Amino acid sequence: MNLISIVDVKDKLDNIFELSAKLKNEAKRGIFNPELKNKTLAMIFEKASTRTRVSFEVAMTQLGGHAIYLAPRDTQLQRGESIKDTAITLSKYVDGIMIRAYRHENVLELGKYSTVPVINGLTDLEHPCQVISDLFTIKEHKGFDARLAYVGDGNNVCNSLILGCAMTGMTLSVGCPEGYTPDKKIVETAAEFSDKITIHNNAVDAVKAADIVYTDVWISMGQDAEKEKRIEVFKEFQVNSTLLENANNPLIMHCLPAKRGFEITDEILDSENSIVFEQAENRLYVQKALLCMLL
């Protein structure tokens, strides 16, 4: 079984949340069971990472296994070896492959030819591990009856949030500028699960009566050439105290890294309502649950 889209685990989310809670509770008490003893995870990183890399590597260590970090310069992919050949070869050595890639299609191809589980650590289309962890965090704090608002770029995180909220029955209101809205096929797929997802082209409508407000960077990796244009386009979508007057004293979420003073102000990111760093911490426990399930 692969985890390339969050839809791949639509029937297993409750099990993942339950196991994540168990592993979190055990970790807080210093209990680490070697569930993945002698298991090895290959981690391919085309993009830089802090939380994804560290949480997966620590997760494998705490589960008694081992993780191998592979930067582009460390593999023959950089010299033109096909994804197919890489997938077949790595499958002979390791028990699972996690990849953080630029193109979603490349991860699909890796999954097609790998005989061990492939985990999407981020692509241009989705970020399922992040959003499964986000949903776990929401479940801990508010439950899925809460109203979630996402404000900013209709990017990979937004796409996975749309699918994740639809599958859990959560109400999600998305606010993005015109031309920067979520993937249409993602929105259509979500509509098959739920009618509680709405898309707006302004931030105020998106956050009305929201119990949780979520944002992400305006300029993702590989979009530096668009920096000035994006700053201008997104300036009305900043999560600040004025915008949040329209919400319901909301909790604040951000998948990090944050560009303080752009998509979110220091005041809000560091406020008592911010659960951003617990959200980041939960990546570890959810990643452990995913690894236990898949490996």
The CATH number for 230's domain is 3.40.50.1370
Do both 244 and 141 map to the same domain?
yes
Q: Would you place residue 105 in the very low, low, confident or very high pLDDT band (cuts 50, 70, 90)? A: very high
- Predicted local distance difference test score (pLDDT) of residue 241: 97
Do both 269 and 137 map to the same domain?
yes
Q: Which residues pair with 274 in a beta bridge?
A: 252
Q: The whole model's pTM is what? A: 0.95
User: Considering its fold, how many domains does the chain have in total?
Assistant: 2
Do both 68 and 188 map to the same domain?
no
Catalytic residue among 51, 62, 104, 127: 127
Query: 3-state class of 250 per DSSP?
Result: coil
Q: Dihedral sign, CA of 251, 257, 261, 267?
A: positive
DSSP code, position 3: B
Report the share of the chain in percent with pLDDT over 70.
99
Do both 148 and 225 map to the same domain?
yes
Q: What is the dihedral of CA 207, 285, 18, 189, to 10 degrees?
A: 50
Average pLDDT over residues 169-180: 97
Catalytic residue among 62, 130, 238, 287: 130
Residue 204 lies in a domain: yes
Q: Taking a C-beta distance cutoff of 8 angstroms, is the pair 193, 166 a contact?
A: yes
Q: Taking a C-beta distance cutoff of 8 angstroms, is the pair 132, 164 a contact?
A: yes
- Predicted local distance difference test score (pLDDT) of residue 179: 93
- Predicted local distance difference test score (pLDDT) of residue 219: 84
Rounded Cα distance, 112 and 106, in Å: 10
Average pLDDT over residues 59-63: 98
Residue 202 lies in a domain: yes
Do both 157 and 259 map to the same domain?
yes
Q: Calculate the average pLDDT of the chain.
A: 95
Q: Kindly tell me if the per-residue pLDDT of 78 is higher than 80.
A: no
Q: Which residues pair with 43 in a beta bridge?
A: 69, 98
Do both 13 and 116 map to the same domain?
yes
Give kind and range of the element (H or E) at residue 44.
Answer: strand 40-45
Q: Strand (E) positions, 104-245?
A: 118-122, 147-151, 171-175, 197-200, 212-215
Q: Kindly tell me if the per-residue pLDDT of 122 is higher than 90.
A: yes
Do both 88 and 147 map to the same domain?
no
- Predicted local distance difference test score (pLDDT) of residue 222: 64
Do both 182 and 232 map to the same domain?
yes
Do both 156 and 71 map to the same domain?
no
Average pLDDT over residues 51-58: 97
Q: Tell me which amino acid residue 188 is.
A: E
Q: Is 176 a catalytic residue?
A: no
Q: Is 283 a catalytic residue?
A: yes
**Distances in whole angstroms, Cα of residue 218 to Cα of each of 193, 207, 229:** 28, 18, 10
Do both 69 and 139 map to the same domain?
no
Rounded Cα distance, 208 and 59, in Å: 38
Rounded Cα distance, 99 and 209, in Å: 37
DSSP code, position 144: T
Average pLDDT over residues 4-22: 97
Residue 1 lies in a domain: no
Do both 203 and 115 map to the same domain?
no
Residue 266 lies in a domain: yes
Catalytic residue among 255, 279, 287, 292: 255
Do both 223 and 95 map to the same domain?
no
Catalytic residue among 104, 158, 283, 287: 283
**What are the b/e assignments for 8-34, b being 16+ CB within 10 Å?**
bbeebbeebbebbbebbeeeeeeeeee
Residue 257: give the domain boundaries: 130-279
Catalytic residue among 51, 95, 100, 158: 100
Q: How many CB atoms within 10 Å of residue 145?
A: 9
Q: Is 100 a catalytic residue?
A: yes
* More confident position, 219 or 139: 139
From 12-21, 73-82, 213-222, the region with the lowest mean pLDDT: 73-82
